[in-house]
């Protein structure tokens, strides 16, 4: 069974997401459609890229991933179809896909140009329906990338640079908040491997986390470990440092969360 995932900023109050599904099923009635999310913040290209990077590998190889977060819809920006790590992707050429493969070249990238696949006339404002959806459906039926359009050199694909956490000469990790989930947990760009290196591989060593004037002494292993209403730091399901409140919302404490600096250091009492 062909699987097609959908990731958009369409929301669900309008018909857009449902119509995209209808177009796909009209071409491949046997496709299994899986919503990753339709609630990416409007025009949130970076947010969508991070979400798809986290999600795609949990699906079987051969899955087609359709991502329509497209502030440039109707403009001269290209639409891409790509194969990476055994998966297929259809997305605008706005840097979204670069967040998935980073510096590792995909196995193949083409520019979507085969207009025989498109619904006509093509809307300048809803190409998710008229171009993206039919292309994803045809890929799910086994169409080769080379039938979609001409090859594109990896170096010519638009890129977005992820903000990277760093370790200072003083041994402190400096990162930032990059997103928030629906529970109000703040996700950072500090990954578990960097925290492990700071500890020297010894998980017994305690870390101190500072964010927005607050200090969190020690890491929690799960949300209920801290007292109710308490601010905590833990490694979430994306293997990145999260800031959370047990039974509450860290977002409520930091409404201007994007780019908020987060610092992590060893507790000197456990550094030896």
> Of 156, 181, 202, which closes a domain?
156
> Does the residue 25 lie in any domain?
yes
Give pLDDT, residue 229.
Answer: 84
Question: Would you list the DSSP string of 192-244?
Answer: HHHHHHHTTT-TTS-EEEEETTEEEES-BSSGGGSPTT-EEEEE-TTSEEEEE
Give pLDDT, residue 226.
Answer: 72
Tell me how crowded residue 13 is: count the other CB atoms within 10 A of its CB. 8
- CA pair distance 131, 144, nearest whole angstrom: 16
Please tell me whether residues 120 and 81 are part of one structural domain: yes
Does residue 33 contact residue 148 with C-beta atoms inside 8 Å? no
Say if residue 269's pLDDT is above 80: no
**Of the given ranges (6-15, 106-115, 258-267), which has the lowest mean pLDDT?**
258-267
> Does the residue 161 lie in any domain?
no
Residue 176 is inside which H or E element, if any?
Answer: strand 173-180
At 270, the pLDDT band (50, 70, 90 cuts) reads low
Helix (H, G, I), strand (E, B) or coil at 72: coil
Please tell me whether residues 180 and 76 are part of one structural domain: no
Does residue 218 contact residue 206 with C-beta atoms inside 8 Å? yes
Taking alpha carbons only, the member of 148, 128, 136, 141 closest to residue 34 is: 136
> Of 106, 127, 156, which closes a domain?
156
Name the residue with higher pLDDT: 227 or 197: 197
**Domain range enclosing 218:** 166-270
Helix (H, G, I), strand (E, B) or coil at 22: helix
Model pLDDT for residues 33-57, shown as the tens digit of each residue:
999 999 999 999 999 999 999 999 9
Taking alpha carbons only, the member of 45, 24, 3, 14 closest to residue 129 is: 24
Percent of the chain with pLDDT strictly greater than 70: 99
Please tell me whether residues 244 and 171 are part of one structural domain: yes
For residue 121, give Cα distances in angstroms to 32, 118, 134, 203. 27, 8, 13, 59
- CA pair distance 67, 267, nearest whole angstrom: 42
Model pLDDT for residues 57-70, shown as the tens digit of each residue:
999 999 999 999 99
Say if residue 268's pLDDT is above 80: no
At 209, the pLDDT band (50, 70, 90 cuts) reads very high
**Of the given ranges (85-94, 125-134, 159-168, 262-271), which has the lowest mean pLDDT?**
262-271
> Does the residue 54 lie in any domain?
yes
- CA pair distance 6, 25, nearest whole angstrom: 13
> Does the residue 196 lie in any domain?
yes
Say if residue 76's pLDDT is above 80: yes
Question: Which token pair is 240?
Answer: 């990145």
Please tell me whether residues 120 and 241 are part of one structural domain: no
Please tell me whether residues 64 and 129 are part of one structural domain: yes
> Does the residue 208 lie in any domain?
yes
Place of tokens 């000197």: 268
Say if residue 271's pLDDT is above 60: no
For residue 131, give Cα distances in angstroms to 28, 104, 118, 205, 224. 15, 27, 5, 53, 46
Model pLDDT for residues 133-190, shown as the tens digit of each residue:
999 999 999 999 999 999 999 889 999 888 889 998 888 999 999 989 989 999 999 9
Give pLDDT, residue 188.
Answer: 95
CATH of the domain at 32: 3.40.50.10790
At 202, the pLDDT band (50, 70, 90 cuts) reads confident
> Does the residue 46 lie in any domain?
yes
Please tell me whether residues 136 and 183 are part of one structural domain: no
CATH of the domain at 234: 2.40.30.90
> Does the residue 16 lie in any domain?
yes
Please tell me whether residues 115 and 230 are part of one structural domain: no
Please tell me whether residues 81 and 179 are part of one structural domain: no
- CA pair distance 28, 158, nearest whole angstrom: 30
Please tell me whether residues 25 and 150 are part of one structural domain: yes
Query: How many domains, the chain?
Result: 2
Question: Which token pair is 142?
Answer: 């086994």
Say if residue 80's pLDDT is above 70: yes
Tell me how crowded residue 43 is: count the other CB atoms within 10 A of its CB. 14
Say if residue 272's pLDDT is above 60: no
Place of tokens 């928030």: 180
Report the C-alpha dihedral over residues 162, 160, 8, 70, rounded to 10 degrees. Answer: 160
> Of 156, 174, 196, which closes a domain?
156
Mean pLDDT across the chain = 92
In degrees, to the nearest 5, what angle opens at C-alpha 114 toward C-alphas 38 and 155? Answer: 75
**Of the given ranges (25-29, 84-88, 130-134, 182-186), which has the lowest mean pLDDT?**
182-186
Please tell me whether residues 125 and 170 are part of one structural domain: no
For residue 97, give Cα distances in angstroms to 92, 104, 241, 262. 8, 11, 23, 27
**What is the value of pTM for the model shown?**
0.86
Please tell me whether residues 61 and 173 are part of one structural domain: no
Please tell me whether residues 28 and 146 are part of one structural domain: yes
> Does the residue 124 lie in any domain?
yes
């Amino acid at each position: 069974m062909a699987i097609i995932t959908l990731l958009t900023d369409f929301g669900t109050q309008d018909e857009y997401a449902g119509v995209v599904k209808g177009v796909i099923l009209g071409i491949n009635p046997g496709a299994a459609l899986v919503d990753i999310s339709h609630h990416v913040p409007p025009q949130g290209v970076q947010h969508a890229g991070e979400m798809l990077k986290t999600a795609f590998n949990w699906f079987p190889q051969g899955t087609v991933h359709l991502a329509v977060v497209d502030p440039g819809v109707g403009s001269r920006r290209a639409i891409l179809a790509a194969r990476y790590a055994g998966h297929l992707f259809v997305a605008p050429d706005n840097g979204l896909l670069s967040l998935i493969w980073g510096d590792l070249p995909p196995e193949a990238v083409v520019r979507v140009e085969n207009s025989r696949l498109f619904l006509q006339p093509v809307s300048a404002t809803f190409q998710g329906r008229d171009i993206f959806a039919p292309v994803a459906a045809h890929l799910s039926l086994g169409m080769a990338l080379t039938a979609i359009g001409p090859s594109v050199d990896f170096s010519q694909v638009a890129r977005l640079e992820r903000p990277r956490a760093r370790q200072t000469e003083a041994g402190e990790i400096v990162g930032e908040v990059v997103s928030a989930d629906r529970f109000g947990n703040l996700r950072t760009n500090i990954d578990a491997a960097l925290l492990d290196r700071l500890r020297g591989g010894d998980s017994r060593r305690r870390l101190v986390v500072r964010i927005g004037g607050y200090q969190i002494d020690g890491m929690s292993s799960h949300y209920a470990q801290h007292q109710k209403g308490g601010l905590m730091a833990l490694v979430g399901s994306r293997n990145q440092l999260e800031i959370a409140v047990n039974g509450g919302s860290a977002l409520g404490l930091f409404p201007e969360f994007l780019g908020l600096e987060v610092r992590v250091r060893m507790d000197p009492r456990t550094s030896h």
